[in-house]
Amino acid sequence: MKASRKILVLGSGFVSAGFVNYFVQHGETNVKLTIASNLVDQAQKLIDEFAPEIGHAIFFDLKDEAANRKLIKEHDVVVSLLPATLHVVIAKLCVEEKKNMVTTSYISSEMAGLDAAAKAAGIIIMNEIGLDPGIDHCSAKAVFDDIHARGGNVTGFVSYCGGLPAPENSRNPLGYKFSWNPRGVLTAAEAPARFLWNGEVVEYDAGETYAHAIPQKQYPGFNLEGVANRDSIKYRELYDIPEAETVLRGTLRFPGFATMVLTFRALGLTDTTEYGDGAAPATWPALLSRVLNVPQDISSLRAAVEAKVQERFAGSQGRVKDALNGLQWFGVFLETTKVDLATRSPIDSLTSLLNAKLVYGKGERDLVILTHEFTYQLPDQPRSHGATGKQRKTSTLVLYGDPIGSHRALTAMARCVGIPCAIATHLVLDGVITRTGVCGPMTPDLYKPLLASLAQNGIHLDEFEEDVVES
């Protein structure tokens, strides 16, 4: 029998449930899990539901360095599922205590700065091993390396990922539901974006990215839009595909999301400035009156809102109508729609409204979709009549969550983020992953065992290939 191995999991959100469940499913009775959280009741509930045999909950305070050092010392590997900005504090302790660490977050420059120290300590700080980043990196990098190994060139890479409600649970103006704080989703939608398209750099300013949503045709049965996500161009280097003329990473949404996000912004509802006197307006009409600087009567409010929406959508009547119907659905013109008085700025008040209206109900499911499209050229490619000599490979993952409220229910997002992270942790514990330093899953020693284990755990991308007929 193997000696017992101790995993410290920081954070008790839904991803932690996906993580813990993996080890329970594998019957890993010699693995002991500690879930450390500032919400110790939430952690205990998670243990009771998912891992009563192998887990226990403990209170955790990021500021209590002495306690955290002791906790880290007592474990073999540390998994941080905390908000990304909090990883570095933990990573520094892991370096000092020579303990391996795993996160699902993008590598921040502060984290990258720990690379030499981590190598000197002989530990790995493995990051970017959730869904995106995570499964997307592993699956894309495996294809790039294969094309290069066959002497080919990658000419294009277009990748979209989205966490959505199941289509039958998407009936609201955004076609979207929140399983965590909407503020992050709203802030992400405000970000500028840049990508490479047929050799040209395309850039969208902050707040404008969602004005360029592109209908997606991957599946006739899914009505999807894709929106560019921040800086795609740096992935030419990160993925080592300098020859690529198209590089675009984006987010998938159902139609309606882009229109409503643009509408909220046009009305000033994504403004982060605190209310002047510190107090939120009592009702939504009062809030609209304040942000639009018009009297609070219904006809003034409607006229001001319609003018902003007409301007935003340049008079495109379909979108203007969708926007106005959407606002109506949220009840923003009704005195009975109260503003959450604990909120301090328009974006916080909006976040609170979205949180209240766009929740998953009992029995509803979420959905994760990941799609990659690779275009590439291999040496001595036979050119059939009319073909360009280029080939296209499409890889897709579509995964549904369990109905909310059922016993041991896991959302698709909890699975798609928690399982890769758990697999990486398992491979580190088993000594299959031996690399040291700060890294993501970009190299074959990491992505090969990760992809193999993901497939064994029901997460694999369907692939198909075709010739590109027109360029």
Residue 250, H or E segment:
strand 246-253
Long-range CB pairs of 72-75 (<8 Å, 24+ gap) are 72/8, 72/97, 72/99, 73/97, 73/99, 74/6, 74/8, 75/6, 75/7, 75/8, 75/34, 75/99
**Residue 280 neighbours by CB distance under 10 Å:** 23
Contact (Cβ atoms closer than 8 angstroms) between residue 183 and residue 340: no
> Nearest distance from residue 379's CB to ligand NAG, in Å?
4
Residue 48, H or E segment:
helix 40-50
**Contact footprint for ligand NAG (CB under 6 A):** 151-153, 243, 377-379
CA angle 262, 268, 271 (to 5 degrees): 105
> Nearest distance from residue 243's CB to ligand NAG, in Å?
5
Query: Rounded distance, CA 349 to CA 183, Å?
Result: 10
In whole angstroms, how far apart are CA 206 and each of 193, 209, 257, 320, 364? 8, 7, 17, 21, 33
Closer by beta carbon to ligand NAG, 192 or else 389? 389
Termini Cα distance of the chain: 59
Smallest CA-to-CA distance from 266 within 226, 215, 307 is with 307
Residue 80 bridge partners (DSSP): 10, 103
Closer by beta carbon to ligand NAG, 378 or else 468? 378
Closer by beta carbon to ligand NAG, 220 or else 382? 382
> Nearest distance from residue 467's CB to ligand NAG, in Å?
15
Tell whether omega for the bond before 133 is within 30 degrees of 0, i.e. cis. Answer: yes
Query: Which one of 132, 322, 348, 366 is the catalytic residue?
Result: 132
> Nearest distance from residue 450's CB to ligand NAG, in Å?
29
Closer by beta carbon to ligand NAG, 152 or else 420? 152
Mapping DSSP onto H, E and C, the string for 410-452 reads: CCHHHHHHHHHHHHHHHHHHCCCCCCCEEECCCCHHHHHHHHH
Contact (Cβ atoms closer than 8 angstroms) between residue 247 and residue 237: no
> Nearest distance from residue 377's CB to ligand NAG, in Å?
4
> Nearest distance from residue 237's CB to ligand NAG, in Å?
17
Closer by beta carbon to ligand NAG, 218 or else 377? 377
Closer by beta carbon to ligand NAG, 238 or else 378? 378
Closer by beta carbon to ligand NAG, 61 or else 243? 243
Report the C-alpha dihedral over residues 262, 350, 254, 132, rounded to 10 degrees. 100
Residue with nearest beta carbon to ligand NAG: 153
> Nearest distance from residue 152's CB to ligand NAG, in Å?
5
Residue 41 annotated as catalytic? no
**Active site residues per annotation:** 132
